[in-house]
Chains A and B, each alone.
Chain A
C-alpha cells in the first residue's frame, strides 16, 4: 500500500511521461491484480497510461502488451503518421490520409512504393485517374452541371477532382450529405459513373464549410474509419465507450478497457476465449445460436436410463441418479455406472468418440452428433452459469471482509486472500469454460487425449477450489492458497500447450 500511495503524486503530476511512470509501477500492478480491481473506479491514472495485463511474466501465455488511448491520443498518433509521410514524399496532408487509410497506416511501405512507382501508387489508391486528363476537357466546355442540368454556370461554381469531371458546388454538397447519410466518409467517390476517385478530406471539408452539422458528422465518421483501418487500434466494444485500445501485436489475447472495464479478445473484439481460436469460437457461437433452443429442450426433458431405457426426468440437483424402474445407479452427465465415479469422478468431463459410429444408420449418427454437441454445450453453459453465481459469491466475500475489518477482526490485508481466491476462481473457470468449444472442434487423436486429460485436471482443481472458496470460513488459509496455486498452474499449463494466439 505504501508504495502505491507514494507513487500517486508523481502520476498525477506527469501526464507527459505517464508510460515511464507506469513502468515503475509495473511490478505493483503485475503482482496484485486485486489492487487494480480496487482502484479501477478511481480515475487516478492519467489518460493514455499504459495498463498492462495482470500477469507481467513474459512467459505467461496470456501476457499481452497494450495501452488504452483516449480520442486525443489517437488523433495525435494518426497525425504523427500523416506528418511523417508528408515529410518524406511530396503529398498534402489530406492525400496522405487517403494513402495511409488505404494502406494500413504503413508509412515505410508507402514511402518505398511511392519511390518505386508514384504514378501506380496514386492510381491504385484512387487519387489519380489511370489515364491523364485531356487538357481540352478543362476548358470552356463545362458550363453546365450534368447532375442538376443547370446550364450557363459560372466556372467558379464548378468543383472537381483530379479526373477533370466537374459538377456544381451545390450538387457536390448534396452528394456528400447523401453519402454521409449512408455512412460513407472516407469512401465518398466522384459523382461520375465510371470514376472511382476518392474525395480527400480537405475537398469535402471545404464543400461543407457552411454546414457545421455535416462537418462534425463527417469528421466523426472519418475518425472511426481511420481507427478501423489501423491494424494496431481497436475501439473498445463496451457500450458508448470512446476508448481505443492499441497493441503492436495482433493477437487473440485479452485486453481490458480501463475506462469501462470491458474485457475482450483484441483480435476479434468479442468476449475473450482462450484457448479457443477466433475462427473456432465464431463457429461455436453460430452453432449455439442455431441449436441452443433444441438443445435446451432435449437436455431439459428426455434422458433415458442407460440400463433399461426408461425415460427419466431430473428432479433434483444431484447427478447421482437411480432409475426408479430398474434401480440402476448412474451418472446424469455421462451415463456411466456410478460405481466408477468414486475414484475417478472427472472421467465424465471427457468425450469419448464411439469407434463403431461409421457403421451406424444416419439417424443414429445424427443423434450421436447431437449428443456430442450437447455434451460440450452443457458443460460450456454450466460453467457460464457457475461464473455468474461465483460473481455473486465474490460480492458476498467483499462484504464479509468489510464486516470483519469494521469489527476489528484483523486488517483488510489479512483477509485479502479470500478475495484473491474468488478472483482467481473466476479467472480459472473462465478459461475452463472456453476449453469446451476447443475440445468440440478437435480431431480425435493423441493431442485431443492430452487436451482432455489436462482439461479434466483443471476441472478437478477448479471444483476443489470452488468448494474451498465457498467454505472459506472453515478452510485453512494455507490450504486455500495452495489450491489456488495448483489451479492456476494447471490453467497455465493448458494454455501454454494449446493456446495458439
Chain B
C-alpha cells in the first residue's frame, strides 16, 4: 500500500513544484519521508487574513489517497474552522462516511482523486469564507457572526505576529 502512496505523493510533489498555485508552497519536510509535508499559505487578499503567511504541516496516512491526510497549522490562528491547537476542520479532509452531524453533506468530501493542491486551495477559500455551521472553534464562530470587527482585529494581530511585525498598526 505504502508503495503506491509514495508514488502518488512524489507525482503530486513534482506537479506542485513545476506548476505551483499562487500563494502556496508545499513539499515534504525531508525527502527521506514523503508522508510528512510542510506548507506555507498566504492569506487571501482583501480579507482580514490578507498578507499573512501561515505555516502548516500535513500528515499522510499509508493508504493515501484512499484516506485523507490531516492538516495542522503551526502558528496561532483564530478561525471558526480551525481548532485552537491548529488542526483544520474542513469537509474535503473528511470521508463521506464520517460526518455524523450531516452538516457537510452538500460540500466537497474527500475522494481518492482529490489532491494536496485541491486541499490547500480549499483551505485558502476557507480562510476567506469561514463556515460557521460546523465550528471547530466555537468562540471564533460566535465572534465572526456577532462581532465581525473584533474578529478582524484579532486576525490582524495574529497576521502581524506571524510576520514578526509590531502588534498594532502604526499610522
Which residues does A use to contact B, with CB under 8 Å? 146-150, 167, 170-171, 174-175, 178, 182-184, 187, 189, 191-194, 196
Q: A149-B7, A170-B4 are in contact. Are A189 and B112 (CB under 8 A)?
A: no
Out of B12, B66, B95, B111, name the residue touching A174 (CB < 8 Å).
Answer: B66
> In the bound complex, do residue B7 and residue A147 qualify as a contact, i.e. CB atoms below 8 Å apart?
no
Interface of B is mostly: loop
Out of B8, B108, B111, name the residue touching A191 (CB < 8 Å).
Answer: B111
Given contacts A148-B4, A167-B112, A174-B66, 5 further A-B contacts (CB under 8 A): A175-B112, A182-B97, A187-B97, A191-B113, A192-B111
Interface hub of A147, A170, A183 (most chain B Cβ within 10 A): A147
> In the bound complex, do residue A193 and residue B63 qualify as a contact, i.e. CB atoms below 8 Å apart?
no
- CA distance in complex: A144, B103 (Å): 34
Question: Can you name the residue of chain A whose Cβ is closest to the Cβ of B96?
Answer: A189
Can you identify 20 A-B contacts, CB atoms within 8 angstroms? Answer: A146-B112, A147-B65, A147-B112, A148-B4, A148-B7, A149-B7, A149-B12, A174-B4, A175-B66, A182-B95, A182-B98, A183-B97, A189-B96, A189-B111, A191-B112, A191-B113, A192-B111, A192-B113, A193-B111, A196-B96
Q: Does B67 contact A (CB under 8 A)?
A: yes
Chain B residues whose C-beta falls within 8 Å of the C-beta of A146 in the assembled complex: 112-113
Interface hub of B7, B66, B112, B113 (most chain A Cβ within 10 A): B112
- CA distance in complex: A196, B114 (Å): 14
Chain A residues whose C-beta falls within 8 Å of the C-beta of B1 in the assembled complex: 174
> In the bound complex, do residue A178 and residue B7 qualify as a contact, i.e. CB atoms below 8 Å apart?
no
Min C-beta distance of B8 to chain A, whole Å? 5
> In the bound complex, do residue A148 and residue B111 qualify as a contact, i.e. CB atoms below 8 Å apart?
no
Q: Does B11 contact A (CB under 8 A)?
A: yes
- CA distance in complex: A183, B1 (Å): 19
Chain A residues whose C-beta falls within 8 Å of the C-beta of B63 in the assembled complex: 174, 178
Chain A residues whose C-beta falls within 8 Å of the C-beta of B97 in the assembled complex: 182-184, 187
> In the bound complex, do residue A150 and residue B7 qualify as a contact, i.e. CB atoms below 8 Å apart?
yes
Contact with A along B90-121 (1 / 0, CB 8 A): 00000111100000000011011110000000
Min C-beta distance of A160 to chain B, whole Å? 12
Question: Can you name the residue of chain B whose Cβ is closest to the Cβ of A170?
Answer: B4
- CA distance in complex: A301, B97 (Å): 48
- CA distance in complex: A183, B67 (Å): 14
Chain A residues whose C-beta falls within 8 Å of the C-beta of B66 in the assembled complex: 147, 171, 174-175, 178
> In the bound complex, do residue A171 and residue B4 qualify as a contact, i.e. CB atoms below 8 Å apart?
yes
Chain A residues whose C-beta falls within 8 Å of the C-beta of B95 in the assembled complex: 182
Chain B residues whose C-beta falls within 8 Å of the C-beta of A191 in the assembled complex: 111-113
Chain A residues whose C-beta falls within 8 Å of the C-beta of B112 in the assembled complex: 146-147, 167, 171, 175, 191
Chain B residues whose C-beta falls within 8 Å of the C-beta of A183 in the assembled complex: 97
Out of A148, A167, A196, name the residue touching B8 (CB < 8 Å).
Answer: A148
Interface residues of B in 1-40 (CB under 8 A from A): 1, 4, 7-8, 11-12
Chain A residues whose C-beta falls within 8 Å of the C-beta of B109 in the assembled complex: 193
Chain A residues whose C-beta falls within 8 Å of the C-beta of B8 in the assembled complex: 147-149
- CA distance in complex: A191, B68 (Å): 13
